[in-house]
Amino acid sequence: MNLDINSSHLKRAAELLRKSKRAVALTGAGISTPSGIPDFRSPHTGLWDKVNPMEVSSLMSFRYNPEKFFEWSRPLTALILDAVPNPAHIGLAQLEETNHLVAVVTQNIDNLHYRAGSKRVFEVHGHIRESTCVNCYQKVAAEKHIRIFIEQGITPRCEECGGILKPDVVLFGEQLPFNVVNEAHQAIATSDLMIVIGSSLEVTPVALFPLDALSAGAKLIIINEEPTYLDERADVVFHNCAAKVVPRLVEEVLHE
């Protein structure tokens, strides 16, 4: 979808942001697709279009056949490591720096929010900066062995015990990181504005986070190429690319 950005919607969203004192952004895969990282559910291009996620990306399948997970994730991991933040990531960092945003809650594991300059980021589905040994539970920095894995196809193993190193990402059937989710909930419960960016709002429990914000009295802005189940409850909706809408919104907020 590539529609013109409605100027009245842009002004309304900017007004909400300027009035807000505790705005929180909730981001999904759609904020990173302009950086070259595919999302999960788009027809023909989504990561789940040709594979069963439970066979390649569940905790159970990883335990019994980790090599299958690494084989499937190898090209995706290469894309993530080589990706760079796009204008949407950079725009959110600018909003935080200028005190128009207090936090980013993200479903993404790609580290692009941090690389763009955001400071307070809650990665509720984990990240690929570290890995944990499935045998001795030692935690290690991931980039070195991930690079070797991408270049040579060697499954990452613990230098201490030889166990498989699992990336610190949340697989299907695995619990979300408790402390991170708890902090995200606290930010959402005290927010007065939530901006959903690039999320289809189909994966629970994250899909319910905006409801928590609405219940706390927050306003809601949605920026997503496709409709979501909360469009009718949002104050402003943009069905357009995040990398186009967010920088325009930031410009409107900072240069009124």
- Domain containing 78: what range? 40-82+127-169
Tracing tokens 């993200």 back to the chain, one arrives at 106
Q: What is the pLDDT of residue 48?
A: 40
Question: Which residue among 135, 169, 203 closes a domain?
Answer: 169
pLDDT digits (tens, 9 = 90+) for 46-90: 454 455 666 777 899 899 999 989 988 888 899 999 999 999 999
Q: What is the pLDDT of residue 55?
A: 74
Q: Are residues 72 and 193 in the same domain?
A: no
User: CA–CA separation, 207 vs 131, rounded Å?
Assistant: 26
Instruction: Say if pTM beats, i.e. exceeds, 0.75.
Output: yes
CB-count burial class (<10 Å; 0-12, 13-18, 19+) for 141: exposed
Q: Are residues 132 and 210 in the same domain?
A: no
* pLDDT per residue rounded down to tens, the chain (256 residues): 445 798 999 999 999 999 999 999 999 999 999 999 987 544 444 454 455 666 777 899 899 999 989 988 888 899 999 999 999 999 999 999 999 999 999 999 999 999 999 999 999 999 999 999 999 999 999 988 888 889 998 899 999 999 999 999 999 989 999 999 999 999 999 999 999 999 999 989 999 999 999 999 999 999 999 999 999 999 999 999 999 999 999 999 998 6
Q: Are residues 135 and 10 in the same domain?
A: no
Alpha carbon dihedral 253, 197, 141, 163, in 10-degree steps, equals 170
Q: Are residues 146 and 73 in the same domain?
A: yes
Q: What is the pLDDT of residue 53?
A: 60
Q: Which of 125, 145, 185, 239 is labelled catalytic?
A: 125
Q: Are residues 254 and 156 in the same domain?
A: no
Q: Are residues 131 and 158 in the same domain?
A: yes
- Residue of 145, 35, 154 lying closest to 84 (CA atoms): 35
CATH number at residue 159: 3.30.1600.10
Q: What is the pLDDT of residue 72?
A: 87
Q: Are residues 237 and 192 in the same domain?
A: yes
Q: What is the pLDDT of residue 45?
A: 42
Query: How many domains in the chain?
Result: 2
Q: What is the pLDDT of residue 3?
A: 57
Q: Are residues 249 and 221 in the same domain?
A: yes
Q: Are residues 184 and 73 in the same domain?
A: no
pLDDT digits (tens, 9 = 90+) for 88-108: 999 999 999 999 999 999 999
Does residue 113 have an active-site annotation? no
Extract the tokens encoding 125. 């589905």
- Collect all residues with Cβ–Cβ distance below 8 Å to 102 and sequence separation of at least 6: 22, 23, 24, 96, 120, 187, 191
Beta bridge partners of 105: 26, 122
